[in-house]
Amino acid sequence: MSDLPDLAFVAAAYGVILTAVGVYAFTLARRLRAARAAAAPPEDAEAADTGDNQPA
Amino acid sequence: MAMRVLGVSAVVAVIGAVAFALFVVPADLNQGDAQRTMYIHVASAWLAYLSFGITALASIWWLVRRDPRADAVALAGAEVGVLFTAAAIWAGMMWGKPVWGTFWQWEDPRLSTTALLLALYVGYLLIRRLTDEPARRATRAAVVGIIAAIDIPVVHFSVIWWRGLHQPPTFGSPDTLLNPPAPGQFVAALLLMLGAFMVAWLWMMITRYRLARLEWDAEEAARRRALPVLAPPPVDTRAEPRAERMHEPMP
Protein backbone atom coordinates (compact mmCIF):
# COMPACT_ATOMS: atom_id res chain seq x y z
CA MET A 1 0.00 0.00 0.00
CA SER A 2 1.36 3.42 -0.95
CA ASP A 3 1.55 6.36 1.40
CA LEU A 4 -1.98 7.04 2.52
CA PRO A 5 -3.38 10.45 1.62
CA ASP A 6 -4.52 12.92 4.22
CA LEU A 7 -8.02 14.29 4.58
CA ALA A 8 -7.22 17.29 2.34
CA PHE A 9 -6.52 14.97 -0.59
CA VAL A 10 -9.83 13.17 -0.10
CA ALA A 11 -11.65 16.49 0.30
CA ALA A 12 -10.10 17.68 -2.98
CA ALA A 13 -11.30 14.49 -4.69
CA TYR A 14 -14.80 15.18 -3.35
CA GLY A 15 -14.50 18.81 -4.45
CA VAL A 16 -13.88 17.86 -8.08
CA ILE A 17 -17.02 15.71 -8.16
CA LEU A 18 -19.19 18.23 -6.35
CA THR A 19 -17.96 21.01 -8.64
CA ALA A 20 -18.79 18.94 -11.72
CA VAL A 21 -22.25 18.11 -10.39
CA GLY A 22 -22.83 21.74 -9.42
CA VAL A 23 -21.74 23.10 -12.79
CA TYR A 24 -23.96 20.58 -14.58
CA ALA A 25 -26.96 21.40 -12.39
CA PHE A 26 -26.43 25.15 -12.82
CA THR A 27 -26.11 24.76 -16.59
CA LEU A 28 -29.26 22.65 -16.71
CA ALA A 29 -31.25 25.24 -14.76
CA ARG A 30 -30.01 28.04 -17.01
CA ARG A 31 -30.78 26.11 -20.21
CA LEU A 32 -34.25 25.25 -18.98
CA ARG A 33 -34.95 28.89 -18.15
CA ALA A 34 -33.75 29.96 -21.61
CA ALA A 35 -35.82 27.25 -23.34
CA ARG A 36 -38.93 28.30 -21.45
CA ALA A 37 -38.36 31.93 -22.38
CA ALA A 38 -37.97 30.96 -26.04
CA ALA A 39 -41.10 28.80 -25.97
CA ALA A 40 -43.26 31.45 -24.34
CA PRO A 41 -45.45 33.41 -26.80
CA PRO A 42 -44.42 37.04 -27.37
CA GLU A 43 -46.29 39.62 -25.34
CA ASP A 44 -47.65 41.39 -28.44
CA ALA A 45 -48.53 38.44 -30.62
CA GLU A 46 -50.21 40.48 -33.36
CA ALA A 47 -47.24 42.79 -33.77
CA ALA A 48 -44.85 39.85 -33.86
CA ASP A 49 -46.81 37.97 -36.53
CA THR A 50 -46.30 40.03 -39.67
CA GLY A 51 -47.18 37.22 -42.02
CA ASP A 52 -43.75 37.26 -43.64
CA ASN A 53 -43.06 33.69 -42.61
CA GLN A 54 -46.05 32.32 -44.47
CA PRO A 55 -45.27 30.15 -47.50
CA ALA A 56 -45.76 31.87 -50.85
CA MET B 1 -42.05 25.64 -6.44
CA ALA B 2 -41.76 21.90 -5.85
CA MET B 3 -38.62 21.77 -7.98
CA ARG B 4 -37.15 24.67 -6.03
CA VAL B 5 -37.79 22.78 -2.78
CA LEU B 6 -36.26 19.64 -4.30
CA GLY B 7 -33.20 21.56 -5.46
CA VAL B 8 -32.63 23.21 -2.09
CA SER B 9 -33.15 19.85 -0.37
CA ALA B 10 -30.54 18.29 -2.66
CA VAL B 11 -27.97 20.96 -1.84
CA VAL B 12 -28.59 20.66 1.91
CA ALA B 13 -28.55 16.85 1.79
CA VAL B 14 -25.34 16.65 -0.22
CA ILE B 15 -23.58 19.14 2.05
CA GLY B 16 -24.71 17.17 5.11
CA ALA B 17 -23.70 13.81 3.65
CA VAL B 18 -20.28 15.08 2.58
CA ALA B 19 -19.66 16.65 6.00
CA PHE B 20 -20.67 13.38 7.68
CA ALA B 21 -18.41 11.34 5.41
CA LEU B 22 -15.40 13.61 5.76
CA PHE B 23 -15.57 14.80 9.37
CA VAL B 24 -17.84 12.55 11.44
CA VAL B 25 -17.10 8.98 10.36
CA PRO B 26 -13.75 7.74 11.69
CA ALA B 27 -10.96 6.88 9.27
CA ASP B 28 -10.50 3.24 8.34
CA LEU B 29 -7.91 1.32 10.34
CA ASN B 30 -6.03 0.08 7.26
CA GLN B 31 -6.93 2.52 4.50
CA GLY B 32 -7.00 5.70 6.59
CA ASP B 33 -8.81 8.70 5.10
CA ALA B 34 -8.63 7.19 1.61
CA GLN B 35 -11.53 4.95 2.56
CA ARG B 36 -13.82 8.02 2.73
CA THR B 37 -13.64 8.20 -1.06
CA MET B 38 -15.65 4.98 -1.20
CA TYR B 39 -18.84 6.67 -0.01
CA ILE B 40 -19.06 8.98 -3.01
CA HIS B 41 -17.62 6.32 -5.35
CA VAL B 42 -20.20 3.64 -4.58
CA ALA B 43 -23.13 6.08 -4.46
CA SER B 44 -22.15 7.50 -7.86
CA ALA B 45 -21.75 4.02 -9.37
CA TRP B 46 -25.16 2.85 -8.16
CA LEU B 47 -26.85 5.99 -9.53
CA ALA B 48 -25.07 5.48 -12.84
CA TYR B 49 -26.53 1.96 -13.03
CA LEU B 50 -29.97 3.34 -12.21
CA SER B 51 -29.70 6.10 -14.83
CA PHE B 52 -28.62 3.78 -17.63
CA GLY B 53 -31.25 1.24 -16.65
CA ILE B 54 -33.89 3.94 -16.99
CA THR B 55 -32.44 4.89 -20.37
CA ALA B 56 -32.78 1.29 -21.53
CA LEU B 57 -36.39 0.99 -20.34
CA ALA B 58 -37.30 4.35 -21.87
CA SER B 59 -35.64 3.29 -25.13
CA ILE B 60 -37.87 0.21 -25.28
CA TRP B 61 -40.83 2.45 -24.46
CA TRP B 62 -39.93 4.71 -27.40
CA LEU B 63 -39.57 1.84 -29.87
CA VAL B 64 -42.93 0.43 -28.83
CA ARG B 65 -45.02 3.58 -28.44
CA ARG B 66 -43.07 6.35 -30.26
CA ASP B 67 -43.85 8.59 -27.33
CA PRO B 68 -41.65 11.74 -27.21
CA ARG B 69 -41.74 11.57 -23.41
CA ALA B 70 -39.88 8.26 -23.61
CA ASP B 71 -37.08 9.84 -25.61
CA ALA B 72 -36.83 12.68 -23.11
CA VAL B 73 -36.53 10.19 -20.22
CA ALA B 74 -33.91 8.19 -22.11
CA LEU B 75 -31.85 11.28 -22.83
CA ALA B 76 -32.07 12.45 -19.20
CA GLY B 77 -30.93 9.04 -17.96
CA ALA B 78 -27.99 8.87 -20.35
CA GLU B 79 -26.73 12.37 -19.66
CA VAL B 80 -27.05 12.14 -15.88
CA GLY B 81 -25.64 8.61 -16.00
CA VAL B 82 -22.54 9.80 -17.83
CA LEU B 83 -22.02 12.42 -15.12
CA PHE B 84 -22.26 9.86 -12.31
CA THR B 85 -20.14 7.29 -14.16
CA ALA B 86 -17.41 9.87 -14.58
CA ALA B 87 -17.75 10.73 -10.88
CA ALA B 88 -17.48 7.06 -9.90
CA ILE B 89 -14.39 6.56 -12.07
CA TRP B 90 -12.75 9.69 -10.70
CA ALA B 91 -13.42 8.74 -7.07
CA GLY B 92 -12.24 5.19 -7.73
CA MET B 93 -8.99 6.46 -9.20
CA MET B 94 -8.42 8.74 -6.22
CA TRP B 95 -8.91 5.71 -3.96
CA GLY B 96 -6.92 3.32 -6.14
CA LYS B 97 -3.69 5.28 -6.22
CA PRO B 98 -3.02 5.21 -2.46
CA VAL B 99 -4.57 1.77 -1.79
CA TRP B 100 -3.69 -0.21 -4.95
CA GLY B 101 -0.68 1.85 -5.91
CA THR B 102 -2.12 2.76 -9.30
CA PHE B 103 -4.81 5.05 -10.66
CA TRP B 104 -5.85 2.59 -13.36
CA GLN B 105 -5.20 -0.92 -14.59
CA TRP B 106 -6.69 -2.06 -17.88
CA GLU B 107 -6.38 -5.71 -16.89
CA ASP B 108 -8.99 -5.21 -14.17
CA PRO B 109 -12.37 -6.28 -15.62
CA ARG B 110 -14.41 -3.87 -13.50
CA LEU B 111 -12.32 -0.88 -14.59
CA SER B 112 -12.30 -1.88 -18.26
CA THR B 113 -16.03 -2.58 -18.46
CA THR B 114 -16.81 0.66 -16.61
CA ALA B 115 -14.67 2.60 -19.07
CA LEU B 116 -16.57 0.86 -21.86
CA LEU B 117 -19.86 1.82 -20.21
CA LEU B 118 -18.80 5.46 -20.14
CA ALA B 119 -17.68 5.31 -23.77
CA LEU B 120 -20.95 3.67 -24.85
CA TYR B 121 -23.12 6.36 -23.31
CA VAL B 122 -20.90 9.20 -24.47
CA GLY B 123 -21.37 7.62 -27.89
CA TYR B 124 -25.11 7.53 -27.25
CA LEU B 125 -25.08 11.29 -26.63
CA LEU B 126 -22.92 11.89 -29.72
CA ILE B 127 -25.22 9.81 -31.94
CA ARG B 128 -28.09 12.02 -30.87
CA ARG B 129 -26.30 14.92 -32.55
CA LEU B 130 -26.12 13.26 -35.96
CA THR B 131 -29.60 14.26 -37.07
CA ASP B 132 -31.98 17.15 -36.44
CA GLU B 133 -35.06 15.06 -37.01
CA PRO B 134 -36.37 14.23 -33.54
CA ALA B 135 -38.14 10.95 -34.34
CA ARG B 136 -35.27 9.49 -36.36
CA ARG B 137 -32.80 10.58 -33.69
CA ALA B 138 -34.89 8.98 -30.96
CA THR B 139 -35.04 5.66 -32.83
CA ARG B 140 -31.32 5.53 -33.46
CA ALA B 141 -30.58 6.51 -29.86
CA ALA B 142 -33.04 3.93 -28.52
CA VAL B 143 -31.26 1.11 -30.35
CA VAL B 144 -27.91 2.25 -28.97
CA GLY B 145 -29.41 2.74 -25.51
CA ILE B 146 -30.67 -0.85 -25.43
CA ILE B 147 -27.44 -2.36 -26.76
CA ALA B 148 -25.32 -0.30 -24.35
CA ALA B 149 -27.39 -1.54 -21.40
CA ILE B 150 -25.97 -5.02 -21.92
CA ASP B 151 -22.79 -3.70 -20.31
CA ILE B 152 -24.54 -2.79 -17.03
CA PRO B 153 -24.78 -6.34 -15.64
CA VAL B 154 -21.36 -7.11 -17.11
CA VAL B 155 -19.89 -4.25 -15.06
CA HIS B 156 -21.71 -5.36 -11.93
CA PHE B 157 -20.85 -9.05 -12.14
CA SER B 158 -17.34 -8.57 -13.54
CA VAL B 159 -15.87 -8.84 -10.04
CA ILE B 160 -17.56 -12.24 -9.63
CA TRP B 161 -16.97 -13.61 -13.13
CA TRP B 162 -13.30 -12.62 -13.46
CA ARG B 163 -10.35 -11.97 -11.22
CA GLY B 164 -8.94 -8.48 -10.94
CA LEU B 165 -7.95 -5.78 -8.51
CA HIS B 166 -11.53 -5.19 -7.43
CA GLN B 167 -12.85 -7.04 -4.42
CA PRO B 168 -16.23 -8.84 -4.70
CA PRO B 169 -19.27 -6.68 -3.91
CA THR B 170 -19.63 -5.77 -0.24
CA PHE B 171 -23.42 -5.66 -0.55
CA GLY B 172 -23.91 -8.51 -2.97
CA SER B 173 -27.00 -10.12 -1.49
CA PRO B 174 -30.01 -9.28 0.73
CA ASP B 175 -28.25 -11.04 3.59
CA THR B 176 -25.26 -8.70 3.44
CA LEU B 177 -27.63 -5.75 3.30
CA LEU B 178 -29.27 -6.85 6.53
CA ASN B 179 -25.98 -7.87 8.16
CA PRO B 180 -23.38 -5.62 6.52
CA PRO B 181 -19.77 -6.73 6.80
CA ALA B 182 -18.71 -3.19 7.67
CA PRO B 183 -19.01 -0.96 10.75
CA GLY B 184 -22.40 0.69 11.18
CA GLN B 185 -21.00 4.20 10.79
CA PHE B 186 -19.44 3.31 7.46
CA VAL B 187 -22.71 1.87 6.20
CA ALA B 188 -24.60 4.93 7.50
CA ALA B 189 -22.21 7.25 5.65
CA LEU B 190 -22.68 5.28 2.45
CA LEU B 191 -26.46 5.24 2.71
CA LEU B 192 -26.54 8.93 3.63
CA MET B 193 -24.43 9.77 0.58
CA LEU B 194 -26.61 7.57 -1.61
CA GLY B 195 -29.78 9.25 -0.32
CA ALA B 196 -28.37 12.76 -0.76
CA PHE B 197 -27.11 12.02 -4.26
CA MET B 198 -30.44 10.44 -5.11
CA VAL B 199 -32.25 13.69 -4.29
CA ALA B 200 -29.79 15.58 -6.50
CA TRP B 201 -30.15 12.88 -9.17
CA LEU B 202 -33.93 13.23 -9.11
CA TRP B 203 -33.73 17.00 -9.53
CA MET B 204 -31.32 16.64 -12.46
CA MET B 205 -33.43 13.94 -14.12
CA ILE B 206 -36.63 15.98 -13.93
CA THR B 207 -34.91 19.18 -15.07
CA ARG B 208 -33.21 17.42 -17.99
CA TYR B 209 -36.50 15.75 -18.92
CA ARG B 210 -38.33 19.07 -19.01
CA LEU B 211 -35.56 20.64 -21.06
CA ALA B 212 -35.64 17.73 -23.52
CA ARG B 213 -39.41 18.09 -23.96
CA LEU B 214 -39.05 21.81 -24.73
CA GLU B 215 -36.19 21.10 -27.14
CA TRP B 216 -38.30 18.47 -28.93
CA ASP B 217 -41.21 20.88 -29.36
CA ALA B 218 -38.91 23.66 -30.58
CA GLU B 219 -37.23 21.34 -33.09
CA GLU B 220 -40.55 20.07 -34.41
CA ALA B 221 -41.80 23.64 -34.81
CA ALA B 222 -38.58 24.65 -36.60
CA ARG B 223 -38.83 21.63 -38.90
CA ARG B 224 -42.41 22.50 -39.83
CA ARG B 225 -41.37 26.05 -40.66
CA ALA B 226 -38.43 24.81 -42.74
CA LEU B 227 -40.59 22.45 -44.85
CA PRO B 228 -43.19 24.69 -46.56
CA VAL B 229 -43.84 22.06 -49.26
CA LEU B 230 -45.39 19.75 -46.74
CA ALA B 231 -47.60 22.50 -45.31
CA PRO B 232 -51.15 22.82 -46.69
CA PRO B 233 -51.38 25.51 -49.38
CA PRO B 234 -52.80 28.82 -48.22
CA VAL B 235 -56.40 29.48 -49.15
CA ASP B 236 -56.66 32.34 -51.62
CA THR B 237 -60.20 33.66 -51.46
CA ARG B 238 -59.55 36.11 -54.35
CA ALA B 239 -59.06 33.30 -56.91
CA GLU B 240 -62.09 32.34 -58.91
CA PRO B 241 -63.70 29.03 -58.00
CA ARG B 242 -62.19 26.01 -59.71
CA ALA B 243 -65.59 24.73 -60.81
CA GLU B 244 -66.25 27.90 -62.86
CA ARG B 245 -62.91 27.58 -64.63
CA MET B 246 -63.85 24.08 -65.75
CA HIS B 247 -66.81 25.43 -67.72
CA GLU B 248 -64.74 27.96 -69.67
CA PRO B 249 -64.64 27.24 -73.41
CA MET B 250 -61.55 25.59 -74.74
CA PRO B 251 -59.24 28.00 -76.63
Q: What is the pLDDT at residue B163? A: 85
Q: Which of A3, A4, A49 to mutate to test the interface with B (most CBs of B within 10 A)?
A: A4
Q: Which of A32, A52, A53 to mutate to test the interface with B (most CBs of B within 10 A)?
A: A32
Q: Please enumerate, as own/partner, the contacts of B149-155 that have beta carbons within 8 Å and a separation of 24 or more.
A: B149/B52, B149/B53, B149/B55, B149/B56, B149/B59, B151/B113, B151/B116, B151/B117, B151/B120, B152/B49, B152/B52, B152/B53, B152/B56, B152/B117, B154/B113, B155/B49, B155/B110, B155/B113, B155/B114, B155/B117
Q: Does the distance separating the beta carbons of A17 and B211 come in below 8 Å? A: no
Chain A residues closer than 8 Å to B211 by CB:
28, 31-32, 35
pLDDT digits (tens, 9 = 90+) for A34-52: 999 998 877 665 555 555 5
pLDDT digits (tens, 9 = 90+) for A6-18: 899 999 999 999 9
Chain A nearest C-alpha distance from B19 (Å): 10
Reported ipTM: 0.84
Evaluate if pTM is beyond 0.80. Answer: yes
Return per-residue pLDDT of chain B as tens, 251 residues: 899 999 999 999 999 999 999 999 998 888 889 999 999 999 999 999 999 999 999 999 999 999 999 999 999 999 999 999 999 999 999 999 999 999 999 999 999 999 999 999 999 999 999 988 899 999 999 999 999 999 999 999 999 898 888 877 776 666 766 677 778 889 999 999 999 999 999 999 999 999 999 999 999 888 888 876 655 666 655 555 554 444 555 55
Chain B nearest C-alpha distance from A31 (Å): 7
Which B residues in the span 35-54 are in contact with A, Cβ-Cβ below 8 Å?
36-37, 40, 44
Q: How far apart are CA B25 and CA A53, in angstroms?
A: 64
Domain chopping of chain B, boundaries: 34-169+181-218
